């Protein structure tokens, strides 16, 4: 046995670092308004950094109210012509965006990893291909809208203000832009202040795809920029993905304005493992559910509900699997868990784990070295916790898994639903009847069966309760971007 263990330890992965030569990062980036890059009227800029090294990447323009106003006016000016184009012509433009994303996929993947800290294999194999797939999917709908809504005639809303988060910068831009453009709207997009670079590279793709000037405008900045966009009287509809606290503030600000609003907010998903589940498969699903993208996922399976009879078996296998996770350089193709996106987010994760320990939770982490520089947090398992603990109730948005147990399906359902959130859930069992019974009673927008974190452009995504309202993806993702008139 000792020889086997020694042999296993000798099988180390050789470094396989992705080259950054394909990416040319400019020292300074301007705003993208009216089809071209323009200097900010605000005169202010901020620095975006690589979270894996803490080294600066570029200076980025910070849009002030005057800049946001310019962007909204450019979108308003472009709206009549864009919405009036034959739908087949809009489809061609959206399709070209998808093809160019594919052609420049490696460039986008490397830049996403540099700016956000996520492993290159996730940027390369998930983020970029799925972003292109969304543009392809909605390009197909652009000239078929009359068949999407029975007995109703769709028309574009107007100017859409879109605010996206830092965990999936390119993918969230695609989720927002593709249906808005396919339905004839014009857009002002604000990426997160810590991850603006792929949105600005996307602006170059929009130029290359010959998107008419003003149809898509990109304004970079922090919370003040987003607030100026959301509250601008020239915006007809707001789409926001981010924290529940900010989403709640947006809803209050828009109350009574008549603006359309969709919110995709936080989550505290339950991953439920029954005793009859395929345990090894479930363990892989648990790992993917919470450690994918460092746990920076709104639908992350951050609460593990495991049936009491198999608790020891599941946790033993889970710890063994966690020992194999490689934490470190996001550009290394062997890396499983990359850098935490920012120092502020690292502090948030650390605070909640400390709170979990103070409330009696037992913290376990694998023995894994991390780099000296950058923002890092080891994959973490917290057991001996209760529903009342902060670490179980609050969204951590990091690689931290809380473990709870249950005895009956009814108890599992009750515990899974005992949360302010309702974005997603996972159920692991070999019995189809049990799967359907549990899934039908879970208050979550998405329920995965014997898998987790599976996405497709044709499938709707969204939440209940404090996880927001509205859907993105599928036919359902078209509806927030159209006015529907009854056909008499």
Q: Which residues are catalytic?
A: 264, 298
Q: How far apart are CA 399 and CA 46, in angstroms?
A: 28
**What six digits make up the tokens of 481?**
């971007």
298: DSSP letter? T
The closest of 120, 127, 105 to 19, measured between CA atoms, is: 120
The closest of 283, 297, 263 to 126, measured between CA atoms, is: 297
Contact 400, 351 (CB under 8 A): no
Ramachandran angles phi, psi of 404, nearest 5°: -125, 160
Q: Which residues contact 275 (CB under 8 A, 6 or more apart)?
A: 307, 309, 310
Contact 359, 389 (CB under 8 A): yes
The closest of 230, 231, 227, 252 to 239, measured between CA atoms, is: 230
> Angle at the Cα of 282 (from 116 to 286), degrees rounded to 5?
25
Q: What does the longest C-alpha to C-alpha distance in the chain come to?
A: 79
């Amino acid at each position: 046995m000792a020889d086997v263990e020694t042999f296993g330890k000798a099988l180390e992965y050789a470094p396989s670092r992705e080259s950054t030569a394909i990416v040319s990062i400019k020292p300074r980036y301007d705003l993208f308004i009216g089809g071209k890059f323009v200097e900010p009227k605000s005169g202010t800029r901020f620095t975006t950094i690589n979270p894996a090294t803490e080294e600066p990447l570029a200076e980025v323009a910070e849009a002030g109210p005057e800049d946001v106003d310019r962007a909204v006016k450019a979108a308003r000016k472009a709206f009549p012509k864009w919405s009036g184009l034959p739908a087949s012509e809009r489809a061609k433009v959206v399709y070209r965006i998808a093809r160019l994303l594919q052609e420049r996929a490696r460039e986008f993947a490397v830049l996403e990893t540099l700016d956000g800290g996520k492993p290159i294999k996730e940027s390369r194999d998930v983020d970029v291909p799925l972003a292109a797939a969304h543009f392809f999917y909605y390009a197909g709908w652009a000239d078929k809208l009359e068949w999407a809504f029975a007995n109703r005639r769709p028309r574009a809303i107007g100017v859409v203000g879109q605010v996206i988060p830092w965990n999936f910068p390119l993918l969230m831009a695609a989720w927002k832009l593709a249906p808005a453009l396919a339905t004839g709207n014009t857009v002002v997009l604000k990426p997160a202040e810590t991850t603006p670079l792929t949105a600005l590279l996307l602006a170059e793709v929009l130029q290359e795809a010959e998107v008419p000037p003003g149809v898509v405008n990109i304004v970079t900045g922090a919370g003040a920029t987003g607030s100026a966009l959301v509250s601008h009287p020239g915006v007809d509809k707001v789409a926001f993905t981010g924290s529940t606290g900010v989403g709640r503030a947006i809803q209050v600000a828009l109350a009574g304005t008549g603006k359309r609003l969709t919110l995709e907010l936080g989550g505290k998903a339950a991953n439920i493992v029954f005793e009859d589940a395929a345990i090894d498969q479930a363990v892989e699903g648990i790992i993917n559910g919470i450690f994918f993208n460092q746990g920076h996922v709104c639908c992350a399976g951050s609460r593990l509900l495991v049936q009491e009879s198999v608790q020891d078996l599941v946790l033993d296998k889970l710890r063994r699997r966690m020992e194999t996770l490689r934490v470190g350089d996001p550009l290394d193709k062997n890396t499983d868990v990359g850098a935490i996106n920012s120092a502020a987010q690292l502090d948030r994760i650390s605070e909640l784990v400390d709170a979990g320990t103070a409330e009696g939770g037992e913290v376990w982490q694998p023995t894994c070295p991390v780099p000296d520089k950058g923002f890092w947090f080891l994959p973490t398992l917290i057991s001996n916790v209760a529903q009342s603990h902060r670490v179980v109730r609050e969204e951590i948005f990091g690689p931290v898994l809380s473990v709870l147990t249950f005895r009956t399906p009814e108890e599992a359902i009750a515990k899974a639903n005992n949360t302010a959130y309702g974005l997603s859930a996972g159920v692991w069992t070999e019995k189809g009847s049990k799967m359907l019974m549990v899934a039908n009673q879970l208050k979550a927008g998405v329920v995965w069966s014997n898998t987790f974190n599976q996405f497709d452009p044709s499938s709707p995504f969204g939440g209940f309760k404090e996880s927001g309202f509205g859907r993105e993806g599928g036919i359902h993702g078209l509806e927030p971007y159209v006015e529907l008139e009854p056909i008499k």
